[in-house]
Structure 1
Amino acid sequence: MRSAMTRVSMRNIVAHKLRLALTILAVVLGTAFIAGSLMFTNMLDRTFSSAVSSQFDGVDAVAGPGENMAALPNEVVDELRDAPGVDKLNIEGSATVVAATTEGDPIQTGQGGSTATIYYPADESVGQAAEIVDGRAPDAVGEAVLNQNAAGKYGISLDQQLTIVDQAGRQTYTVVGFYNDEVAQSASLAFQISPESFREFYTDGATVPRVSLSAAEGIAPQQLVDDLRAAHPELKIDTGEVLAEEATKQVRDALSFVSYFLIAFGLVGLLVGTFLIANTFSMIVAQRTKEFALLRALGASKSQITRSVSVEAFIVGLLGSVLGVIAGAGLVAIIKAVMGANDMPLPDGGLGLSAQAVGVPIVVGVVVTLLSAWAPARKAGQVQPVEAMRSSESASPQPLRARTIAGVVIIAVAAVAAATGVSWEEGTTANRAILVGTAAVGVIAGVFLAGPAFSLPVVPPLGRLIGAPFGAMGRLASTNTRRNPRRTSATAFALMLGIALVTVIGMLGASMKQSVADLTKNEITAEYVLTGPDTGAFPVPADLPGRLPGVEGVGEVVSYSEVPIAVNDEFGYQFGPYGASPVFSGDPAELLSLEMVDGTSKLEGDTVIAPEAWAKERGWSVGDTVTISAPGISPETVEATLGGIFAESNVIKAPAVGLDTAMKLVPSSTVKINMVGVNGDGTADAGQLRANLEAEVKPDIIVQVRSTDEMSGQVMGMIDQMLFILYALLSLAVIIAILGIVNTLTLSVIERRQEIGMLRAVGSKRGQVRTMIILESVQMAIFGALFGILMGLGLGWAFLTVLADQGLKNIDIPWTLVGVMLAGSIVVGILAALWPAQRAAKTPPLDAISD
């Protein structure tokens, strides 16, 4: 009997090709994103790991500054060059620059960048030398070679002169050659200049960043490293292999966030797909009640029926998951093509195929499909032989009490968890967020269970309202959605979940933008702020603050930097192993709105000002002495006085030090000026002051003059870019939801074949049947959108309230987005119903009735 049931399962799969295709599609959509995520991160890992490891090919040792050293002195470099066992020595260093034509027009690299590194010919190079494919190598100060693909992209020709700007000043490069580098992106300008040029332009003349060395013949890399360490214990010396492994690990750690991020959205897609799969199997089992009853009457046991449905689920899950892996590879290929078309080409790292990227989605897809089908499979096994005599599945009762009670209880518990997370002010942000996240899962599960009961008071009145202009067909559509609330709720649930996620992300984005607007309006008081590209990501020239006081109409000038110094051995901001503290030249109160609780904001002499919470936690008072140090750079320290304590600030969250004090400990090369604030002296109006400032900074090329409104506008643009990526990923969940509606409606049409045939037999036209199916779809889509928006608004408010300590204090609801989603749900309902409605309209009346 077991083999007979297996044959029945296989024949069932083959006999219902449309049903099979719809079910497999649900699995494909659920697994494709996970497969694509794993493949994409594999591809990035291989690409960047290859790029990193190639930098160290042929490098036997690398020597850099040790503790309390900022760079390698020239005399140490000479000693290393002459050390026993050393064959060649190369200076290593890189400078981030901005390139422009000699007319002062910057070369816009978009998502790329511009860097200057050092060129060595093949006979002098430690490791692999760049291959000059046109022109010649740079041999004079100011000459450079450029990656050929970027030269072609930006129309740069041989012997062309370019203006090159960095934070220390500006130089002129003459491009004398082009080289080929498979790793260099065409969107990025990768200049290589002679060691003499690099020393003159990008070092202080007395030191270099680090050096790479190759061992003489017969000397092992580790032996060379050991000998050099013994001779220079003050330096940090490692083999090239060790540094390559460390750099590769850093790349992988950085990419792990991308991986987690993408997989999180893959799981969202899989979650929506899971409900779609479960819904599909539930409907299929319901449609096959008579078939299962006949099998039971012929002697099949409950376990055999359950096994039969589970076998079908396994086959569907396996086929869908394999196709999902193929679709994931297609997603990666599309991403590479899109990035290439938008000036962000990825080097050829394949499609990222690996055993993990193929195996994990298949296992997850099969397991999820089996779990989704388990409840319907058990239900199929419980079908009694007598049910074969019933006319249709609809005759069987569908009690909602138990699942409704369970759903309401879960929602209530989730609401308590969310309320606890929101009101628990003493708790950490992480713990409060975990509570709200748990509440979110509970709300989703509760709404899934209680959804059919929730739909009864909402969907029928909504259906009557929407269907009123369509007469009898409108009323019939309303009756159909009320008749089977389980199907109505299950159809709407996937869309509900997708819209809830979009609403949460929309609230996050709107609140971030509002917070940025409030920050710039309420915190920045300077009339104009001067920054480099990307709001301080590229520092402004170091000499700019000193030049601005000479500009007509300029009064106070204040610069804000982040410098690697510590106050009482604590960095203000810690980024992994690196740390920095805020440093100001001038009075910070002329740039920012500071409410002084005690003392003064002026950083005169060796003075420090601190936030109230920071000072209170450490027991500081105005007049106390603190120690300023530069860990890892200088062994010296400076004793400073706490001159003022200020109330909470969204810009300065750590003790701030004066620039003159910081310069006693660190070289000027470590001072990166993020922004410069300028106030007028009253002799020029705002428009004239701006014009004067723009004229002054025009030769700098990179410096932009902005008002506070313009600053917030740029940051908002960056937020919009981030949200665009999130919405693009979330759109997959919405697409799955739309296909879920198509799937459910199509199965519904199959299930109601007799009913639709009867309508056609009594005179209903094809257009009327189409209208009825479309109205049913629109009702369910609007129901899903309404509940999704309510869920999203509630969960979004809870999450943002918990994140208030992270700067998101003003919760903003994106009403425009809410309106668009409501209107879009109508469009979704119509589009999703087109094919099922057309299929229903073509139902032959007599054949349907005879079935």
Structure 2
Amino acid sequence: MMYWRVSWRYLTRNKLRSFYTILSILIGISSIFAVLSTVETAKKMTMERLKLYTGNADYSIQSSSHTFSGSVLDDIQQDSNVKAAIGVIHKQARFDLGGPENLAQTRLRITGLSSLRSELLTLEAVSGNLANEGIILPQTTAGLWKKNAGDLVRLQLPTGNMEVPVAAIVKDTPLLEGPSSWDEASSKSWRALAPLQTVQQWYSLTGQVQEIRIKLNDTAEEQSALASIGNKISDPSVFMEKIVLDEKQTNQLEELYLMLYAIGGLSMIISAFILYNTLYVSVVERKNEIAVMKTVGFIPSQIKKLFLCEVLILSLLGLIFGIPLGLGLASLMQKGLFHSFQANISYSPEFAIALPITIILGLCIPLAAAHIPVAYASKIDVIATLKQVPAQQKEKTTYRVVAGIVLLFGVFLNSIVSLLFLLAGVTLLFPFILSLFTRFFKRIGFMGYEGKIASNNILRTLNRSANMSVILAFVICLGLFVSSIFASMETSIESEVNHSFGGNLQLSTETPLTPEKLNAIQQFEGIHGVTAYKEKEVLWSGDKKINRFTIISANPDWYQKHPLFYDPQRKNTDLLQLLKAHPNGVLLGDYAFREWGGKAGEPIRIIRNNVPTELIVLGKVNTSQYGGYTAFMEESHFDKLFPETNAYKGLITVADRAAETSVKDFLLNTFPFDLERVQTLSEELEKQKRALPGVKSLFNGLLMISIAVVGIGILNTLIMNVMDRMREIGVMRAVAFTSGQVITSIVSESVVMGICGTLMGILLGIAMTYVNALTMQDTAASFVISIDTLLLSTFSGLLISLLAAVVPAQKAARYNLGQALKHD
């Protein structure tokens, strides 16, 4: 108990220093807590949405003929191994609200379900009754349509126009995920539910289903259950597939998560540096006190315990106040992140993992930062301290400079690890760099005589000042590096989409794209060419886990001019020849290649109709299809591997890009009840760019928090420097130094640290961006520097340095002259 009392007494004796140290710790803790919570919430939300979409089913039964007899559903529901089964059919319709909606905004995909109260379906009614006759709308759609339960909606159906009542309005669910605005409706269909029999009647598909989703009994033996279900399927075109929830199909945010971790972690590391500085100064200030304690019987372990108690008090206070602040910050981050992608996503914040990890990090990182000063305190030499023998550090400084220069050569490794070598080398060299900067400013007479005094003060506390200056450099460097990634994405989006969109328009239909349909499309004026391609979702195994992605057929003739993929290092003709020469060869999209983790020439194991098959990975390509989580196979080889697959996707080229809109309207008019989706090249570009501004704002906000923590660190460092020199300041005042000159000298000290940190941060950020562009030549990464971020970083670095000097400068100027002269 004595240790805690002594530690608390010392912390309260230095209230201002302790306050700013706690403030930096709690901001670091709140940042890492918010980041962890946001990432975990995003991951959990993605998986839950996948489960909601599939109804948490185990298997899906489909047909290569698009629809099949619903009698299969009746037979399966009687199987004792089946816990629940539901029949599904999707069809297209049009609606008329009597408003100014254009053709593209009135597409409605109606999903017919054999049961609206199945265990495989989660529908929570907001108003109305699911048992009522009519269609069921999600809450967001009903709000945009301004419809309530019982209102009529005019539908255009193959059987004619009719007014259909709104049976119920339910909470938003992935199965009914439609547009979140009328603008989004131009490229995305609305969604609604209806009883299966009703949809069958509307579309003259009596007794037909498109899919059956099955959930097995918990006690059922899987293989025997599958055999039993298989015996009930006599149609050779009907097949059964296992449902695998692979979040990578919809959630490809690993790089985003890493950047969030980097910024949140940086705030925590900055806090640790501030704590390290505070504790180290505390040890130096109390060297005589520690020496005296040792002379009266204190052993090194007791000295360590005393300082560790101080660290734990600071850490606990940081956690107590930082976690509630982190809750609010997490809420803001999650709203900003999810709104960037889709406004009507519902989610609940996830804290179960973030909270314990934050507590562990909030205790362990400060304790790790305290290791060196605490060990130094326990090893203080009693005789040397009492005799005030100065320590010699020249050899250590020399070793540090040599080690830093050696680490800088790691940049030439041409690997992502080069960035770590660069950061480590600059960290070791920074005291030497700050020393050169300071001597330069001293030589040119920066801020006059007061500037010389400031320069001497920095050189006197070089390591302490260098620690905060290098952290400022890292924050600015990270800001430039992240902004360069976004700038590179912005500049590469148009190039990547143009190189991998396959034409001017993409379309997908509810029924197979037959030659007759393609011929009808080709006849429209303005269309230059049209083709259909096939896709097949397959399971693939990797890292002891079953995953799921889509294999796309590649038509060599079409892809020569309008490919769905490209390689910056190779011509498309070479890629197509490579695919044609290997019957079992595939090219993986960049994201799929990274997740697979192998090398070109090695096999990837897929599961086709429950039978394992090995395909040879011929290489990696860039593509905008499925975010790069896909594979491509030459068309004739694809047909041999998946003979039962029909084409539901099409590509269209137009003679003039201005004709994209008119062609889209033609398709909507020609296939009103079959066209599931049609997207123009311009719409895809807009969609890809839409999320970037929101995500950039999120990162800029986090970086501002990190810069604010750096400001606290500089402020704390200056306060410690002022307290160290209080007697010296008193002497200066006594010999006619004015308050203004004292303030100027301290502000100059902060500005020199700020200029050095800012300039080195900019140079380091440019260097890291360049190294990253060199090591990632096979990706879309390019050497792009955002001028806006560069100017903002420069302004923020200098401003925070000036603001950080205000409190210590005023404290020094207002300090009582008599007390200052008596200060020890």
Taking structure 2 as the reference length, what is the TM-score of the superposition? 0.74
Kindly tell me: are residues 357 and 235 of structure 1, through their superposed partners in 2, closer, same or farther at Cα, counting changes over 3 Å? farther
Q: 2: CA distance between counterparts of 1:444 and 1:170?
A: 68
Whether the 8 Å contact between 2:488 and 2:780 is mirrored in structure 1 is no
Where does residue 399 of structure 1 map in the other structure?
A: 393
Alignment partner, residue 477 of structure 1:
454
Distance 1:138-1:352 versus aligned 2 partners, 3 A rule: closer
CA–CA separation in structure 1 for the residues paired with 2:296 and 2:168: 81
Q: Which residue of 2 aligns with 1:105?
A: 101
Aligned pairs for 1:671-820 within 5 A: 671-673=648-650, 675-680=651-656, 689=659, 692-693=662-663, 696=666, 703=678, 705-706=680-681, 715-808=688-781, 810-820=782-792
CA distance in 2, matches of 1:601, 1:496: 43
Is the partner of 2:504 in helix, strand or coil? strand
Query: 1:387-786 counterparts in 2 under 5 A?
Result: 396=390, 399-412=393-406, 414-420=407-413, 422=414, 432-433=415-416, 436=417, 439-462=418-441, 468=446, 470-519=447-496, 523=499, 529-531=504-506, 546=519, 548-554=521-527, 556-559=528-531, 561=533, 563-564=535-536, 576-584=547-555, 587-591=558-562, 610-612=575-577, 614=579, 632=608, 654-657=632-635, 665-666=643-644, 668=646, 671-673=648-650, 675-680=651-656, 689=659, 692-693=662-663, 696=666, 703=678, 705-706=680-681, 715-786=688-759
Deviation at 1:783, TM superposition (A): 0.8
C-alpha deviations, 1:127-167, integer Å up to 9, x for none? 67746554555877xx41113455236533453537799xx
Q: Is the 2:472–2:761 contact (alpha carbons within 8 Å) kept by the matching residues of 1?
A: yes
Residue 664 of structure 1 deviates from its aligned partner by 9.4
CA distance in 2, matches of 1:664, 1:616: 18
Going from structure 1 to structure 2, the CA distance change for 1:295 and 1:634 (only over 3 Å counts) comes to closer
Q: Aligned with 1:505: secondary structure?
A: helix
Aligned to 1:181: 171
Task: Please say if residues 91 and 210 of structure 1, whose CA atoms lie closer than 8 Å, have aligned partners that are also in contact.
Answer: yes
2:204 and 2:483 mapped to 1: Cα distance?
46
Letter in 1 for 2:151: D
Structure 1 residues 330 and 88: CA distance shift in structure 2, 3 A:
closer
Aligned-partner Cα distance in 1 for 2:429–2:757:
13
1:196 aligns with 2:186: no
* Cα shift readout 1:677-708 (whole Å, capped 9, x = no counterpart): 2225xxxxx76x4675466467589755556x
Quickly say closer, same or farther: Cα 1:47–1:440, change in 2 above 3 A.
closer
SS of structure 2 residue aligned to 1:671: strand
Task: Provide the residue aligned with 2:594 in structure 1.
Answer: none
Deviates more, 1:610-619 or 1:502-511: 610-619
CA distance in 2 between partners of 1:279 and 1:332 (Å): 29
Q: Which residue identity does 1:804 align to in structure 2?
A: Q
2:357: which partner in 1?
360
Q: How many residues align?
A: 759
- Name which of 271, 274, 277 aligns with 2:275: 277
Could you tell me how far apart the structure 2 residues matched to 1:169 and 1:463 are?
88
Does 1:209 pair with 2:216? no
For the structure 1 residues 525 and 319, does the alpha-carbon distance in structure 2 shift closer, same or farther, using more than 3 Å as the test?
closer
* 2:26 alignment partner, one of 4, 28, 31: 28
CA distance in 2, matches of 1:847, 1:95: 86
**RMSD over equivalenced CA pairs, Å:** 5.5
Query: For 2:108 and 2:279, how far apart are their aligned partners in 1?
Result: 55
Which residue does 1:625 correspond to in 2? none
* Partner SS state of residue 503, structure 1: helix
Cα distance change on mapping 1:162 and 1:723 into 2, 3 Å: farther
Partners of 2:354 and 2:619 in 1: how far apart?
52
Residue 359 to residue 667, structure 1, CA distance change in 2 (3 Å)? closer
Deviations 1:171-199 (A, max 9, x none): 98845133343867898665222213544
Q: Do the aligned partners of residues 92 and 705 (structure 1) sit closer, same or farther apart at CA in structure 2, a change above 3 Å counting?
A: closer
What's the CA shift string for 1:291-310, capped at 9, x where partnerless? 43444565545554343223
**Aligned mates of 1:75, 1:791 — CA distance in 2:** 68
Note the 1:70-85 alignment, pairs <5 A: 73-81=69-77
For structure 2, the 5+ residue unaligned runs are 181-189, 235-240, 586-605, 626-630
Cα separation, partners in 2 of 1:80 and 1:234, compared to 1, 3 Å? closer
2:433 maps to amino acid: F
The match for 1:147 among 123, 127, 138 is 138
In structure 1, distance between residues paired with 2:426 and 2:712: 21
The 1-side partners of 2:819 and 2:17 are apart by 20
Q: Deviations over 1:806-842 (max 9, x none)?
A: 344x433334433432233212222332333333333
Judged with a 3 Å threshold, the aligned counterparts in structure 2 of structure 1 residues 78 and 463 are, in CA distance, closer, same or farther, namely farther
Asked if the contact 2:405/2:429 (under 8 Å) is kept, the reply is no
1:606 alignment counterpart: none
* Structure 1 position 170, deviation (Å): 13
Equivalence map 1:109-148=2 (5 Å): 116-118=110-112, 125-126=118-119, 130=123, 132=125, 134-135=127-128, 137=130, 143-148=134-139
Distance 1:698 1:67 in 2: 26
Alignment partners' CA distance in 2, 1:503 and 1:129 = 45
**CA offsets per residue over residues 700-755 of structure 1, 9 Å max, x none?**
89755556xx8667645545555444444444433332322222223323333223
Cα distance change on mapping 1:741 and 1:649 into 2, 3 Å: closer
Shift in Å, 1:575? 10
The one-letter code sitting in structure 2 at the alignment partner of 1:455 is L
Alpha-carbon offset, residue 265 of structure 1: 4.2
Aligned partner letter, 1:447: V
What do the CA deviations read for 1:481-519 (whole angstroms, capped 9, x no partner)? 233221221121211111222222233333344444555
Q: Is the 8 A contact 1:516 1:716 kept in 2?
A: yes
* Distance in structure 1 (CA, Å) of the matches to 2:147 and 2:36: 38
In the alignment, residue 729 of structure 2 is paired with which amino acid?
Answer: I
Output the amino acid matched with 1:657: E
Instruction: Give distance in 1, aligned partners of 2:492 and 2:144.
Output: 39
SS in 1 for 2:551: strand
Q: TM-score, normalised by structure 1?
A: 0.72
Offset at 1:62? 6.3
Structure 1 residues not aligned, in runs of 5+: 237-242, 423-431, 603-608, 621-629, 638-644, 681-685
Equivalent pair of 1:275/1:372 in contact (CA under 8 Å): yes
Query: What is the CA–CA distance in structure 2 between the aligned matches of 1:503 and 1:47, rounded to whole Å?
Result: 30
Aligned mates of 1:295, 1:845 — CA distance in 2? 32
Structure 1, residues 445-482: CA drift from partner, whole Å, max 9, x if none? 333333111211123324666x74x4433343333323
CA-CA distance at 1:619 after TM superposition: 12
- Whether the 8 Å CA contact 1:41–1:259 is kept in 2: the answer is yes
Opposite residue 530 of structure 1, the aligned amino acid is L
Q: 1:118 to 1:18 in 2, by over 3 A?
A: farther
